[in-house]
Amino acid sequence: MNKAKRIEIFSRLREANPHPTTELNYSNPFELLIAVILSAQATDVGVNKATDKLYPVANTPEAILALGVDGLKSYIKTIGLFNSKAENVIKTCRILIEKHDSVVPDNREDLEALPGVGRKTANVVLNTAFGQAAMAVDTHIFRVSNRTGIAPGKNVLEVEKRLMRLVPKEFLMDAHHWLILHGRYTCVARKPRCGACIIEDLCEFKDKNDYL
């Protein structure tokens, strides 16, 4: 795919959604961090249902730590892998208090040192909470990048690096959100909605005629 085509793709995505953001509910970097930790192998809708009950009660490292693992589990038990996630969140809260004055760090190294925080989670926080150019490649972005030809790669890190290199700079800050939303609602896994896609004519998906 050439640069002109990528520019046109992201121009259309921007025109359709000028101010994209995450679908996770949050009001500060800490709430976002916890929501993203909880969202692993879970839907944003499911996470929001849990955090909408949790955050009015506890939305600081100190308050969640005070709940303890069992107390936290009572709020997040509807989310997949809630046992291990509760352990990680409590450990993360303790580290934030002891090492970072209860402030979420704005750099990758410190974020990835937190329990339950991998590269993808760190990228979401860096991009969405701190306005840094970062690409959190989830299953949707991986699929869209490969299927459309925007930035094909064999694994998520390869796709991330190619996107960071190939997405035109003017679109880089919001590209992560556009691609996730496109994969979530249009370029879906089993039967992509090609006929309703605003970038269909630019897409390099070889088998898309099967879905028209």
- Within 8 A by CB and 6+ apart from 170, the residues are none
Choosing from 120, 169, 174, 208, the catalytic residue is: 120
Whose tokens are 């969640």? That residue is 64
Choosing from 5, 53, 91, 138, the catalytic residue is: 138
Cα(1)–Cα(206) distance, integer angstroms? 13
Question: Positive or negative CA dihedral for 181, 187, 192, 198?
Answer: positive
- Within 8 A by CB and 6+ apart from 133, the residues are 127, 164, 172, 173
Cα(186)–Cα(90) distance, integer angstroms? 36
Cα(206)–Cα(146) distance, integer angstroms? 11
Phi, psi dihedral angles at 193 (to 5 degrees): -90, 65
Cα(212)–Cα(208) distance, integer angstroms? 7
Active site residue 120: yes
* DSSP, residue by residue, 59-107: -SHHHHHHHHHHHHHHHHTTSTTHHHHHHHHHHHHHHHHHHHTT---SS
Q: Which are the catalytic amino acids?
A: 120, 138
